[in-house]
Amino acid sequence: MALNRWTQGAALAALLAAAPAFADDSTVTIGMILPMTGPSASTGKQERAGAELYLKEHGDTVAGKKIVLSIKDDTGAADVTKRLAQELVANDHAAVLMGFGLTPLALAAAPIATEAKVPEIVTAAATAMITEKSPYVVRTSFTLPQASAPMADWALKNGVKKVVTIVTDYGPGVDAEKWFGETFEKGGGTISQKIRVPLKNPDFAPFLQRMADDKPDAVFVFVPSGFGSIFMKQFVERGLDKSGIKLIGTGDVTDDDLLGDIGDSALGAVTAHHYSAAHDSPENKAFVAAFEKANNGMRPNFMAVAAYDGMALVYKALEKTKGDASGDALLGAMKGMSWTSPRGPVSIDPETRDIVQNIYVRKVEKKDGALWNVEFATIPDVKDPYKASKH
Ligand code: DHB
């Protein structure tokens, strides 16, 4: 049937409006938004290196599509994250948004992901509820409840009876305080103080004295990646490393990126986390060696591995959809995906879109002159307990 002039015009307008989106159907753009500057720049640096290593190792073609990794610096400011997410989706036709160094930044991008129907792969931020803020959020990092509850279980079984918690005062810190605290108290332990320290310009010194006066068996710490050395420096300045108060926490405080700087004062700290550069597997040995080689000897931390896995998830999803990069097809392919990460076996929970992974209990030890988080116990296939508690 011949189209009349009006329908022809409308069809053309629609085609033109849609044209840029299909202008280059042979490329898939991954818009990666990271804090490359500001207080969380170490996260940006590690994440970028992790994503770029995956690209280098696996090539830039998947299922016939050319992968373009477009990395943008949000400086750690949520309004910038949001603007960059909008630009990446509208101008660059990004098929995936990825990265997000801190919880508020991941939250800022969530409405854009929902509106554009584009998967938002969170490779850093770790407050449990982030995945509930958009049906398009998928996470390859971890959640604080996932690491904090096993830390409490370990403490209960190892003679720790009284604990002071010290956390950075925002989403992940509040999660850590709650999930460590409630698990510990349910098992018969006592939390004698709950201390929260501001995210901006943190000064732990005044709180450390208050903590020590309580004479706890252990102090449980959460600080975001990059802030562990400030905490440890002040802990040592107060002589607390020699006080007999055990240092426990999630692995963020003994970050692989900082252990060398922190030095021997970290020896003996016990933490629970999903990744250690010392993880003993062939996949991890190859990952650490390639990462160090590509980055002037920099050791990968848990941020690097989450970005590496974020890329793996995109590649595997594209293979499964045979190159269909539309948002719903990719999201569908990501749900339930499982693979072997340098951290061990992982999968994406199809219901919550959070990562299911082993949590390891580790102790800081010196080996061949360097400090490592040496894993000594494994809790297999841990789902985010916050979401599990709601189902
Ligand atoms: C978050 C950031 C971190 O650097 C980290 O180690 C854990 C959580 C966050 O903002 O969610």
| Contacts of residue 20, Cβ cutoff 8 Å, sequence gap at least 6 | 93
Q: What is the three-state SS of 113-174?
A: HHHHCCCEEECCCCCHHHHHCCCCEEECCCCHHHHHHHHHHHHHHCCCCEEEEEEECCHHHH
Residues 180, 265 within the same domain: yes
Q: 228 in ligand 1 pocket by Cβ < 6 Å?
A: no
Closest CA to 102 of 177, 15, 172: 172
- At residue 16, does pLDDT exceed 60? no
> pTM higher than 0.85, yes or no?
yes
Q: What is the pLDDT of residue 1?
A: 39
In this predicted structure, the answer to whether residue 4 has a pLDDT above a threshold of 60 is no
Q: Is the Cβ atom of 342 under 6 angstroms away from ligand 1?
A: no
| d(CA 40, ligand 1 centre) in Å | 9
pLDDT value at position 25?
A: 87
Give the integer Cα–Cα distance in Å for 127 and 106. 10
Neighbours of 244 (CB within 10 A): 9
How far apart are alpha carbons 145 and 374 in whole angstroms? 21
Residue 126 near ligand 1, beta carbon < 6 Å: yes
Q: How far is ligand 1, taken at its centre, from the CA of residue 104, in Å? A: 10
Instruction: Decide if 278 is inside a domain.
Output: no
Ligand 1 near 249 CB (within 6 A): no
pLDDT value for 19: 41
Q: How confident is the model at residue 226 (pLDDT cuts 50, 70, 90)?
A: very high
Residue 12 lies in a domain: no
Q: Is the pLDDT of residue 17 over 70?
A: no
The answer to the question of residue 340 being in a domain is: yes
Q: What is the pLDDT of residue 15?
A: 39
The partner residues of 340 in beta bridges, in order of sequence, read 345
* pLDDT for residue 205 is more than 90: yes
Q: What integer is the mean pLDDT of 191-200? A: 97
Q: In b/e form, how buried is each residue of 253-279, taking b as 16+ CB within 10 angstroms?
A: bbbbbbbeebeebbeebbbbbbbbbbb
**Which atom of ligand 1 has the smallest separation from the CA of 302?**
6
Assess whether pLDDT exceeds 50 at residue 12: no
43 lines ligand 1 (CB under 6 A): yes
124 and 249 housed in the same domain: no
Backbone φ and ψ of 50, nearest 5°: -65, -45
Confidence of residue 3 (pLDDT cuts 50, 70, 90): very low
Mean pLDDT of the chain: 94
For 318, the domain range is 26-142+284-353
250 and 307 both lie in a single domain: no
Report CA 286 to chain centroid distance, whole Å. 21
Q: Which atom of ligand 1 is the closest one to the Cα of 125? A: 11
pLDDT in tens, 211-220: 999 999 999 9
CB 292 within 8 A of CB 370: no
Which is it for the CA torsion 384, 386, 387, 391, positive or negative? positive
Q: What is the pLDDT of residue 21?
A: 46
Residue 42 CA to residue 201 CA, distance in Å, equals 16
Is any ligand 1 atom within 6 A of the Cβ of residue 254? no
- CATH number at 76 reads 3.40.50.2300
Kindly state if the Cβ of 106 falls inside 6 Å of ligand 1: no
- First vs last Cα of the chain: how many Å apart? 54
Same domain, 269 and 366: yes
pLDDT at residue 7, rounded to an integer: 44
The answer as to whether 101 is a domain residue is yes
- 379 assigned to some structural domain: yes
CA dihedral over 32, 122, 303, 195, signed as positive or negative: positive
E-state strands within the chain: 27-34, 61-62, 65-73, 96-99, 120-122, 137-139, 162-168, 190-197, 218-222, 246-250, 270-273, 338-341, 344-348, 355-367, 370-382
Tens digits of per-residue pLDDT, 123-146? 999 999 999 999 999 999 999 999
> pLDDT tens digit string along 162-195?
999 999 999 999 999 999 999 999 999 999 999 9
Burial of 16 (0-12, 13-18, 19+ CB in 10 A): exposed
Give the pLDDT score at 391.
67
Residues 207 and 269 in one domain: yes
Ligand 1 centroid–CA 383 distance in Å is 18
From 103, 123, 167, the mutation candidate for ligand 1 (largest count of ligand atoms within 8 A of CB) is 103
- Give yes or no: residues 230 and 363 share one domain: yes
Nearest CA to ligand 1 atom 1: 125
Q: What is the mean predicted confidence (pLDDT) over 235-255? A: 95
State the DSSP H helix or E strand holding residue 80, giving kind and residue range, or none if neither: helix 78-90
Same domain, yes or no, for 162 and 58? no
Give the residue-averaged pLDDT of 50-69: 98
Q: If you measure from the C-alpha of residue 135 to the centroid of ligand 1, how many angstroms do you get, rounded to a whole number? A: 21
Return d(Cα 274, Cα 123) in angstroms, integer.
13
Q: Give the pLDDT band of residue 390 (cuts 50, 70, 90).
A: confident
What is the H or E stretch that residue 386 is in? Answer: helix 385-390
The amino acid present at 95, given as its one-letter code, is: A
**Contact indicator for 275, 296 with CB cutoff of 8 Å:** no
Question: Exposure pattern of 212-230 as b/e (b: 16+ CB <10 Å)?
Answer: beeebbbbbbbbbbbbbbb
Q: What percent of the chain has pLDDT over 90?
A: 92
